[in-house]
Amino acid sequence: MIDPHVHLRDWTQSDKETILHGMKVAASLGFTHLFDMPNTNPQCIDRDTILDRLAKGGEATEETGVSYHLYAGITTEDDQIKEMVELQEELFPLVVGLKMFLSQSTGNMGITDKKRQEEIVRLLSSLGYKGVLAVHAEKESLMHPELYIPGRFETHSLARPAESETESVRDIIEIAGNAGFEGTLHICHVSTAGTIGLVKDARKHMRITMGATPHHALLSVSDATDHGRYLKMNPPLRSEEDRNAVFSALLDGTIDWAESDHAPHTLSDKEKGASGIPGLPGMLLLLSELRKHGADDSRLRSIFGGRVIETFGLDDEEIQIPSDPLSLYEKAEGEYPIFPFGK
C-alpha cells in the first residue's frame, strides 16, 4: 500500500518521531511507499536540505524496505520555485511533486495572499511544470482565531470553519484554470462536502485529484468534544454530515485516495494543543470500515495505492491489501503516546 501524505518529523523534531521509526511502523502495517511533506525543521525548500532528507530516507529504506519519497516545498520566491521545479524533474520519483500551503499550518509555510498564489501558479505554468502540485487549502481571511478556547479543542473547528477550506479550494481551482496549469492539482485532506463537490465539477476541465484522511472519514467534531486535545489537527474535524460525505466519496471513488496526514507529537505537545495526530495506524481502521461497507479488494487497491501510482506515474506494482487490517491496527497501539482512534 502507499501513504502519499505523512509528516515524519526527525531532525530537530526527533522527539516526536524519526524517519526510521515512522517507516518501521509503516512496514508493519503493510505500506511499501511513503510520501513525506516538506514542512520539516529545517524546511525542505532548497536543494541541500532536500538531498539531506532523501539520504536519511534512503537509509531507512535500506532497513525497512519501504520506499521514501518527498515533496519539495514552494515559497514566495521566484528563484526558489524555479529551483524546486528543476529539482523535482531531476530527482523524480524521489521528489514526487511540489507542495504549497495556502494558509499557515504546522511549519509556517503559508502563502496566504491570493494574488501571490496566482503569480506562483502562472510561473509554474510558464516553466512547463506538469507534475503534481499538492495544496493545503484553508483561507486565512475566513478563519476566526478568536473563537478558539484553549482547553476546549472542539472550538478549533469553529476557528477554522468548513467555509475556509471550501473557498480556498474554489480559489485555487479558479487560479489553476486561469493560469492554464497543465500539471495535476491535488487537494490534500479534503474535509467538507462542499470541497468534494467543487473538485468533482472541476474534473470536467482540468486534471485534479483529492485525498481524504482516516480522521475526516471516521471522526466528527463531536469526537473532538469527547477526546479534546488529542483530536486537534488542520483542517479540523467537521460535522457528521461532512464526515459522512467524505466516507461516502471514498467508498464510491469520488475521492481518489486515502492519505493519513500522519503528524505525531509528544504527549506534552498535545497537552499544549499542538495540531496533528499519528495517522498511519488509522489507515488500517479506515480500510476495515470501507470493506465493511461494501468496498471490494479492487476498490481498496485503488484507494490505497492504485490511483496514486496512476496519478504520479510511478512504476506499476500490485497493491497488497491486508486480509486482517484490524489486527495490524491494534498492534500499532503502543507506537505513539496517543492512539486517537481508540480500539
3-state secondary structure of 272: coil
Is the residue at 131 inside a domain?
A: yes
Is the residue at 341 inside a domain?
A: no
Is the residue at 306 inside a domain?
A: yes
Q: What are the distances in angstroms from CA 108 to CA 40, 89, 147, 179?
A: 10, 26, 21, 26
Helix (H) or strand (E) holding 124, with range, is helix 114-126
3-state secondary structure of 4: strand
Is the residue at 342 inside a domain?
A: no
CATH assignment at residue 20: 3.20.20.140
Helix (H) or strand (E) holding 5, with range, is strand 2-6
Separation between Cα atoms, residue 204 and residue 191, nearest integer Å: 21
Which position has the grid cell 468496498?
A: 295
253-308 pLDDT, tens digit per residue, is 999 999 999 999 999 999 888 999 999 999 999 999 999 999 999 999 999 999 99
Which position has the grid cell 505525531?
A: 264
For the chain, what percentages of helix, strand and coil (3-state, to nearest 5) are there? Answer: 50, 15, 35
2-49 pLDDT, tens digit per residue, is 999 999 999 999 999 999 999 999 999 999 999 999 999 999 999 999
Structurally, how many domains does the chain consist of? Answer: 1
Q: What's the domain range around 296?
A: 2-335
Cell of 310: 496512476
Is the residue at 281 inside a domain?
A: yes
Give this prediction's pTM. Answer: 0.97
Annotated catalytic sites, by residue? 261
Is the residue at 114 inside a domain?
A: yes
Separation between Cα atoms, residue 144 and residue 1, nearest integer Å: 38
49-94 pLDDT, tens digit per residue, is 999 999 999 999 999 999 999 999 999 999 999 999 999 999 999 9
Q: What are the distances in angstroms from CA 220 to CA 137, 191, 227, 334?
A: 19, 10, 11, 24
Is the residue at 343 inside a domain?
A: no
Is the residue at 169 inside a domain?
A: yes
